[in-house]
Chain A
Amino acid sequence: MKFKRLVPLKTAAVFMVFCCALLLPHSGSGSSDSIMPEVKSYQLENGVKVFTIDDDLPRTEIVVSISYGKLFEDMHNAGMSDVIANTLLLSGSAKYPGDSVISTLESAGGSISVDAGWESITISVRVLERHTGLAFDIIGDLLTNPLFNSDTVKYSAGYVYEKHRRKMDDPAAKGMAALRSVIFNDKGYGANITRQSISSITESSVREVWARHTTGGNIIVSVSSSMDGESIAGQCKKSFSSVTKGPRQYYAADMDMVKSQIAAKSRNIYLIPADFDQATIICGVTAPDVKYQGNYTIEVMNYILGGGSFGSRLMTEIREKRGLAYSVFSYVASRYSTGFFLCFAQTRNEEAGNVLSLINANISRMYTEPVPGDELEWAKNSIINSYVFTFSKISQILASYFTMEYYDLEPDYYSRYTSRIAAVTAEEITNESRKLFANGLVTVVVGKKEIEKELSKYGNVVIIEEKL
């Protein structure tokens, strides 16, 4: 096979050496044959990048990621990636028109999904080994010869809009959407689907986005299969070589402007009235992008604050000590050129103010008090010692390669990960927390309107009537 070697994938060798070391048996495990499956990688002439891994069960899974997702959208076309994903599945391709994509695969016992994520649209096909050729044929034809007809686009737009409305019946989803909208000014993370945004999506706009983004530099293919590597390489070449050559495309995120507006918004508490006995409280702020060197510190900070399950501060202070919430946590996500941090809790309406003040107090502690040594060691050891689970399934190994490639991470990103976590200090946590929360946090509460007075003790309450 003639495949152009992908230069950045020299990083794969570093990664592999590291992972093999990671998977060496711990002392006393009684296992001496822990060998991680090898990942092969190459690039087609048109720029499509391919990662493959052997599977010991008779099956094949192909995942094609196209760099276009919700972060590419704004308030004018929110829903575009979802409509593309749905239309692709329903309209099919030249060789497999209409829903014959689905029926052909399901008749063979296979399955297909097309999902729109924040940064990519992902086509995933699973089949037993004997149907591997069919799977490649279908996914290749979908990628290169999709049929986007106006009726299907119109139907998909309605379908996506209705699905979104149903999702917004959940107070947690509604609160999350409102929070992102306020922080990110209805763009990228903040672009929520509306009737207007959905109405703007047409056959021609779908075709235009698809053509612009399904180019070689924008596509990463991951394959796990029990078939031999040479056969898989041949199938990849056959199915994906006709993809148009083209560069990688990125979404724009004006994070400086977004951050500059947080201070004014963080003085408000946005209340969405909802007639449930329980209030949902979400506080959020922008977080650094994926390449920010302080992310290791932020990860440890988040683990201590609310990411570290039952041992975290929010869980301990709000749930374990006071019995105020079942669900309470913090979360941080870093992406190519944006990021998002949030704290979440659900409590009975009469305790909403109390829980909000506990969240704020614990966030404040992160930048006003050094984390005690034993707590810091617990968090770092927990992250480091569980790192082995990042690669415990072949799909996770492939996903790690995908992440490294998609975000153009340093070649030693994974191999140095644990040492970087180990190096985090209490002082760094205080400093990074101060930076992260410098402008305060935006707060959204979904709860009874009667709690407005109580919430007003903690900020200027702005009522958001149902508009999502």
Chain B
Amino acid sequence: MQRRFFVKRRQKSNNMRRFYTAAVFAIVIFTAGANYPAEINVAGNYLKNNVVERKLANGITVLMMNRGYSPTVALEISFRAGSVDESYDTSGAAHILEHMLFKGTEEFGTKDYASERKILNRIEAVGETIDRLKLENPGNTRIPQLEAELKSLEEQQAMYSDNSTYDMVYSVNGGVGFNAGTSKDMTSYVVQLPSDKLELWAGVESERLKKPVLREYYKERNNVYEERLTYESNPGRVIYESLYATAFTAHPYRHPVIGWKSNVRYMSVHDVRRFYRDYYIPSRMTITVVGKIDIEKTYSIIDRYFGSMKSRPEPGGIKIIEPQQQGERRAVVRMASRPMLLIAWKKPAVPSIDDFTFDIIASALGSGDSSRLYKSLVIDRKVANNIYAWNGAPGARYDNLFGIFASPADGVTPEQLEQEIYAEIKRFREGITAGEIERVINMSESEFIFMLDDNESIAGQLGYCQTVFGDWRYLVSYIDMIKSINMDMVRAAMDKYMNDDNRTVVVLKDSRGGK
């Protein structure tokens, strides 16, 4: 249940997205002479002055920040490994692996691993055979017999199993928010604990990552299948899934993080294990600790527990490059839901300056109730019930999308609303003002400072930037970066990318009838 919300936080946090998309450009030249108030650099300096970065000998990056009055700490372990690193056949493996890392080790979660292991091996052999037979011929007469054997084996294995071991250890020690999340770009494991439980956490997590045992695999795969079914009854998720699968024809950003229904149902445990071996490696790993801590003691503990993780070869990036789009793509989804509309254009990711420019465009057009689209189409003309713009989905490690989501007002069709949106975008292109850009900068600055409210959100931002962009300092320079954007750059980016041939449109229509 909670994991779902974690993934959502990554996907939906469009405002915070701005802070993820800082860049590698020289930044000072554009800002010299700008007359912004003193607070403009407070947030960046707050991080710059307080975040301590170290690297373990095996390549793990460690970010630490001592802050706050509360004797608590937020802990996040992130891997640069997400669904974008999967193949067609293994779509969903990163997410299932995340679930399986809650199942314990040779010491955690078992009463007698030596005895349990024999049963686990047989469970895998039977489970893989059932999957293979079902894919070849669902009517194969051996299947019921094997399913009965699997059930019997699972019952035997259950006698050795200690359920929810990690959760029990953390909760009894005051832990909250024990969770994990997988996105297109990364996977994270999080918990918050009283500060004096840091060593307990290091012991548990290092063991968990070094020697995971993928026990109860087929039951957990069923739970993931249930998670997939939940997504399918959520119209918002369905329309976004359709958008990514339509906009990207080759690049793995087209696959849902959770995997396709058929992938989940037949995901091989061997593929999940292979993903772990290939991608859960020190060079792709960041540990972030934010809260009331002693930096040196914290680093010493982390080094002691995580320093022995073995380095493994870097698997490398993906080879697939999304081909140039050569014409508008449209898709229609029908389900029992009020209508929705998604429009998106392809554009470059960080470190392109265009990515920052689209942060400005997204905010000016569709972030906040006084943004162009919301004010015009929801408040003034009342043709939409909701509308917002976003930049940087579905991931940020590779070129991605800028988009607009809208729900039509009662009596307005998605197609009518679509035309209204294009007309407003045209007016924006022709009449953008310096005041609109200044509004975005002011809002970004304010959001940045309010983001620094608690350990968890700071740890999340630092871990994200380090994992996806390779440097948490992107947060420090972000405000200066967007200050470098001017109206000419906005118009140029719109002209270059927001054209018909580069556009994907998905309309969700109500299968129950009506507009």
Asked if chains A and B come from one complex, the reply is yes
Residues of chain A touching chain B, judged by Cβ–Cβ distance below 8 Å, are: 23-31, 33-37, 57-59, 61, 89-90, 99, 102-103, 106-111, 126-130, 155, 158-159, 161-163, 165-166, 169-171, 274-278, 308-311, 315-316, 319-329, 346-348, 378, 381-382, 384-389, 391-395
From known contacts A29-B196, A130-B39, infer whether A34 and B385 are also in contact, taking CB-CB under 8 Å: no
Q: Are B370 and A102 in contact (CB under 8 A)?
A: yes
Chain A CB within 8 A of B483 CB: no
Bound-state CA distance A393–B223 (Å) is 34
- Once the chains are docked, how many angstroms separate the CA of A423 from the CA of B410? 55
A-contact bits for B252-290, CB 8 A (1 contact / 0 none): 000000000000000000000000000000000000000
Contact present for B439 and A106 (CB under 8 Å): yes
| A381 pairs with B172, CB closer than 8 A | yes
| Contacts from B to A (Cβ < 8 Å) | 1-2, 4, 37, 39, 42-43, 46, 68-72, 102, 158, 163-164, 166-168, 171-176, 178, 192, 194-197, 216, 218-227, 229-230, 232-235, 292-294, 297, 336-338, 368-371, 375, 379, 382, 385-386, 407, 409-410, 435, 438-439, 441-446, 449-450, 452-455
- A34 in complex: contacting residue of B69, B216, B375, CB < 8 Å: B69
The answer to whether B42 touches A58 (Cβ under 8 A) is yes
A30 vs B300: C-alpha distance when bound (angstroms): 13
Chain B residues in 8 Å Cβ range of A161: 410
19 A-B contact pairs sorted by A residue (CB < 8 Å): A26-B71, A27-B196, A30-B294, A37-B69, A57-B42, A59-B449, A102-B370, A106-B371, A107-B438, A109-B439, A130-B37, A130-B39, A278-B230, A310-B166, A346-B226, A384-B174, A386-B171, A388-B70, A395-B453
- Residues of chain A with a CB closer than 8 A to B164's CB: 310-311, 315-316, 320
Cβ contact within 8 Å between B385 and A386: no
Tell me the minimal C-beta distance from A317 to chain B in angstroms: 9
Closest residue of A by beta carbon distance from B42: A58
Bound complex: CA A323 to CA B99 (Å)? 12
Distance of B236 from chain A, by nearest CB (Å): 9
Classify the secondary structure of A's interface with B.
mixed
Supposing A126-B450, A311-B167 touch, asked if A25 and B178 sit within 8 A by C-beta, the answer is no
Q: Is there contact, CB below 8 Å, between B196 and A26?
A: yes
B220, B337, B382, B452: the one contacting A57 at CB < 8 Å is B452
Checking B172, B218, B222, B438 against A382 with a beta-carbon cut-off of 8 angstroms, the contacting residue is: B172
Q: Is the CB of A159 within 8 A of B337?
A: no
Which residue of chain B lies nearest to A105 when distances are taken between CB atoms in the complex? B370
Query: Judging by beta carbons under 8 Å apart, are A162 and B385 in contact?
Result: yes
Q: In the complex, A385 Cα to B385 Cα: how many Å?
A: 44
Interface-centre pick from B37, B176, B235, B382 (highest chain A CB count, 10 A): B176
CA distance A206 to B232 in the complex (A): 39
Question: Chain B residues with Cβ under 8 A from A171's Cβ?
Answer: 233
Q: Are A57 and B46 in contact (CB under 8 A)?
A: yes
Contacts of A128 in B (CB 8 A): 37, 39, 445-446, 449
Given contacts A107-B439, A128-B449, A389-B176, contact A31 B232 (CB under 8 A): no
Contacts of B223 in A (CB 8 A): 319, 323-326
> Are B70 and A321 within 8 A (Cβ)?
no
Contact partners of A106 in chain B: CB under 8 A = 368-371, 439, 443
Query: Using a Cβ cutoff of 8 Å, how many contacts connect chains A and B?
Result: 236
Question: What separation, in Å, do the CA atoms of A106 and B46 have in the docked complex?
Answer: 24
Bound form: Cα–Cα A275–B338 in Å: 15
Give the distance to chain A from B72, nearest Cβ to Cβ, in Å. Answer: 5
Contact A24/B71 with A107-B435, A170-B234, A278-B230 known, Cβ cut-off 8 Å = yes
| B439 A322 Cβ-Cβ under 8 A | no
A103–B438 Cα distance when bound, in Å, is: 13
Residue from the list A89, A108, A309, A321 in contact with B178, Cβ < 8 A: A309
How far is B171's CA from A99's CA once the two chains are assembled, in angstroms? 46
Which one of A274, A386, A389 lies within 8 Å of B336 (CB-CB)?
A: A274
In the complex, which of the residues B43, B167, B192, B196 contacts A309, with contact meaning CB atoms closer than 8 Å? B167
User: Given A103-B370, A109-B444, A382-B171, 16 more contacts at CB 8 Å?
Assistant: A23-B71, A25-B71, A111-B446, A128-B449, A162-B338, A170-B235, A310-B164, A310-B168, A323-B216, A324-B222, A346-B230, A348-B226, A388-B70, A389-B72, A389-B176, A389-B192
Instruction: Give 5 closest A-B pairs by Cβ, nearest first.
Output: A109-B442, A385-B174, A323-B219, A30-B294, A323-B222
Q: What separation, in Å, do the CA atoms of A329 and B158 have in the docked complex?
A: 22
CB distance from B465 to the nearest CB of A (A): 20
On chain A, the residues within 8 Å of B443 by CB distance are 106, 109, 111
Which single member of B173, B442, B449 contacts A108 (CB below 8 Å)?
A: B442
Whether the Cβ atoms of B39 and A58 lie closer than 8 Å is: yes
Q: Contact between A155 and B382 (Cβ–Cβ < 8 Å)? A: yes
Are B385 and A166 interface neighbours, CB within 8 A?
Answer: yes
A363 to B68, CA, bound (A): 41
Contact B226 A99 (CB under 8 A): no
Residues of B within 8 A of A103 (CB): 370, 375
B297-A325 in contact (CB<8A):
no
**Known contacts A308-B171, A325-B226, A329-B1; A320 and B163 CB within 8 A of each other:** yes
Given A57-B449, A346-B230, A26:B194 Cβ within 8 A: yes
Distance (whole angstroms) from the CB of B490 to the closest CB of chain A: 18
Task: State the CA gap A4–B173 with chains docked (Å).
Answer: 43
Contact (Cβ within 8 A) B336 A275? yes
Bound: A102/B367 CA distance, A: 12
Nearest chain B CB to A355 CB, angstrom units:
10
Question: Which residue, B72, B175, B227, B442, has most C-beta atoms of chain A within 10 A?
Answer: B72
Measured between beta carbons, the chain A residues less than 8 angstroms from B233 are 170-171, 274, 276-278
